[in-house]
Amino acid sequence: MFAYRYLLLGIVTILLGGLTAPPCTAGTDVRNPVWAGRFYPASQKELDRTVRGLITAARQKSANRVPRQGLRALIMPHAGYVYSGATAAHAALAIPRDGFKRVVLLGPDHRVGFNNASLTPASRWRTPLGEVPICDSSQLTDRWPDLFATVVASDRQEHCLEVILPFLQARLTQFELLPLVLGPCDARQMARAIGPLMQDESTLLVVSADMSHYLPAAEAIKRDQQTLRRILALDPHWSIDQDNRTCGRFPIGVLLELARSQQWRPMVLHTSNSGDASGDKDAVVGYAAVAFYGEKSMSKPNDNRQPLTPEQGAVLVKLARQTLARQFGREVEPKQAQPLETLLEDHALQARCGTFVTLKIDNQLRGCIGSLSASEPLVTGVRDNAINAAFHDPRFSPLSQKELDQVHIEVSVLTEPVDLAYRDADDLLAKLRPGIDGVILKKGYASATFLPQVWDQLPRPEQFLTHLCMKAGLSGGQWRKGDLKIKIYQVQYFEEDAH
């Protein structure tokens, strides 16, 4: 059993996918394991059994929706395996066996304090599972000498990269490693420096980071869900509001810069927190596994759309506001450089997909209506659902003109719902991803859905499913019988700035 004092330490892993990496030169020094026997087993036999067992368990619990090709990056936690190993294994499972020849591994500085990136002086990195050769880093240090240096104290003490490596070794039998520990840095500049390495499809980018630290479980789950939604939206304002969200803010910031420029699509694979293993829910550390895929891998027959940009989302929110204003005969908006109607001609906003419009006043629901099917263009769905949420939600009286000034508008854009196969109630609980999956349940003529945002109010899967059953007119415990048809979907959601 690993000491509880190490559970805080976590890792987010990011990977880029491909086939042929340039050769790396070898040096002489070996970086020996420092944290074996504390974060993970020290013996080769026990470590191999532990890692493979975790990956096997992840495979059994996986919903089998992970694309087989096109992996570009992973976020992966870096705590002791007894705490974060289950989530780390879901990330490792996404790596195609022997699918990469080089891994660029980014992690956050926990122990020293420095700016930009620290490189190891070693030529090989040893774990109980064997040695991995270190890539020649001169292509970085020669061109970007101000960004890359060797901080010896960090190389000797930092745990966040070391803890990830055995999971990589379990999936890749021959690969070269470029390990980088990041302190505060300019994410855009760092992404420019690392970006050329990512052009090679045989290179995988792994980011090491844990989520929130030492919050009560319910609060941690809510905060981690918010953070993951920002990651899924490739938030261009990532650096803002980083209060206890992740120890890997700088590596993740670099990843998001690369993901936006390369049009990678993120997918949450698994979430957990230390309380799931320890039973202590008073102060937990959150963990998440997130995979990023290139465009070709995500072209599924039922959902081949690229994510909307924040600017496109803002146009949809403005459309909902304008639609309601017109219902009250108000002036729509002052003249601007690009009228809204021109912005709505964007091809991406004509895609057919499900939409929901949610209205709130003082953070309390005031109306929410939407459509799950991809039967009409985005702009049409937003217009119709804005009107329906304001005037035809049977739970509320019609919105008044006075309330229009107080209402806060959210627009949710849905992926195509897909069936979720599950064996029984326990399997259903294991496969749902709080904060990520919207859920549709059906039994006969009874059906209901909750958007992923509802997890904020109902963070435990048991609560979520119980309330969803009651919304459908079923008994609250119906989900325990394992006879419901379940579909899941994800959303991008956009909301107004405070006004």
Print pLDDT tens along the chain (499 aa): 333 333 333 333 333 333 333 334 444 599 999 999 999 999 999 999 999 999 999 988 875 567 778 999 999 999 999 999 999 999 999 999 999 999 999 999 999 999 999 999 999 999 999 999 999 998 899 999 999 999 999 988 999 999 999 999 999 999 999 999 999 999 999 999 999 999 889 999 999 999 999 999 999 999 998 899 889 888 888 988 899 999 999 999 999 999 988 888 888 899 999 999 999 999 999 999 999 998 544 434 344 456 788 888 889 999 999 999 999 988 655 555 456 777 777 888 888 889 999 999 998 999 999 998 887 889 999 999 999 999 999 999 999 999 999 999 999 999 889 999 998 998 898 888 887 889 999 999 999 999 988 988 888 889 999 999 999 999 999 999 989 999 999 888 888 875 5
Token pair of 402, please?
């006075």
Instruction: Find all residues with CB under 8 Å of 177, minimum gap 6, and list them.
Output: 102, 103, 105, 125, 132, 133, 134, 135, 165, 168
Q: Give the span between the Cα atoms of 285 and 419, in whole angstroms.
A: 31
Q: In CATH terms, is domain 4-298 a member of 3.30.360.10?
A: no
Q: Give the span between the Cα atoms of 22 and 390, in whole angstroms.
A: 58
Q: Where are the beta strands (DSSP E) in 274-363?
A: 284-293, 355-361
Token pair of 46, please?
């026990």
User: What letter represents residue 171's amino acid?
Assistant: R
User: What letter represents residue 426's amino acid?
Assistant: D
Give ∠ CA 300-304-305 in degrees, rounded to 5. 155
Domain boundaries, the chain: 4-298, 310-411, 418-491
Count how many residues are written for the chain: 499
323 membership: H or E segment, kind and range: helix 310-327
Q: In CATH terms, is domain 418-491 a member of 3.30.70.270?
A: no
Q: Give the span between the Cα atoms of 399 and 388, in whole angstroms.
A: 10
First to last CA, the chain: 51
The string of DSSP letters for 53-102 reads HHHHHHHHH--S-S-SS-EEEEEE--S-HHHHHHHHHHHHHTSPTT--SE
Give ∠ CA 308-314-318 in degrees, rounded to 5. 135
Q: Give the span between the Cα atoms of 324 and 36, in whole angstroms.
A: 60
Q: Give the span between the Cα atoms of 494 and 475, in whole angstroms.
A: 33
Q: Is 464 helix (H, G, I), strand (E, B) or coil?
A: helix
CA–CA distances in Å: residue 379 to residues 143, 312, 386, 454: 46, 11, 11, 24
Q: Give the span between the Cα atoms of 98 and 95, in whole angstroms.
A: 8
**Residue linked to tokens 């090491």:** 208
Q: What is the pTM of this model?
A: 0.64
Query: Cβ–Cβ contacts within 10 Å for residue 349, how many?
Result: 20
* In contact, 270 and 54? CB cutoff 8 Å: no
CATH superfamily for 310-411 is: Hypothetical protein ph0010; domain 1 (3.30.700.20)
* In contact, 178 and 221? CB cutoff 8 Å: no
The crossing angle, in degrees rounded to 10, of helices 310-327 and 378-391 is 50
* In contact, 415 and 300? CB cutoff 8 Å: no
